[in-house]
Amino acid sequence: MRTPIAYFLVTSGLLFAIGTVGVLIRKNALLIFMSIELQLNAVNLSLIAFSRMHGSLNGQVLAFFSMVVAAAEVVVGLAIIVSVYRRTGSVSVDDVRELRG
């Protein structure tokens, strides 16, 4: 028996909502970064669920490329966060605002 797609979509929606709340209420850049990754994983879950429902590999291939781009994003994002930490001694988003001109 196959699991209904609604289960995957509800889980994906909950993960995306949790990630959105994390982005909106957190002050720590690392936690915001983790919340964005949670949102990306939620989208990948829904892509794979729809791909499975239609019996096509298109959604799975798109999710794979999304994961590759997310891995590159992690490298660049963590480098920026480490650079900001070395400069200010904090990873708070409020401290980054003070770095402008």
> pLDDT tens digits for 8-35?
999 999 999 999 999 999 999 899 999 9
**Per-residue confidence band for 93, with pLDDT thresholds at 50, 70 and 90:** confident
pTM of the model: 0.86
SS (H, E, C) 19-88: HHHHHHHCCEHHHHHHHHHHHHHHHHHHHHHHHHHHCCCHHHHHHHHHHHHHHHHHHHHHHHHHHHHHHH
CA 12 to CA 6: how far, in whole Å?
Answer: 10
Q: What topology does CATH give the domain 5-97?
A: Helix Hairpins (1.10.287)
Q: Say whether pLDDT at 101 is over 70.
A: no
Q: What is the largest CA-CA distance in the chain?
A: 60
Cα atoms found within 13 Å of the Cα of residue 26, Cβ hemisphere only: 16
Q: In the chain, pLDDT over 70 holds for what percent of residues?
A: 95
* Mean of pLDDT over the chain: 90
CB hemisphere CA count around 61 (13 angstroms): 4
pLDDT surpasses 80 at 88:
yes
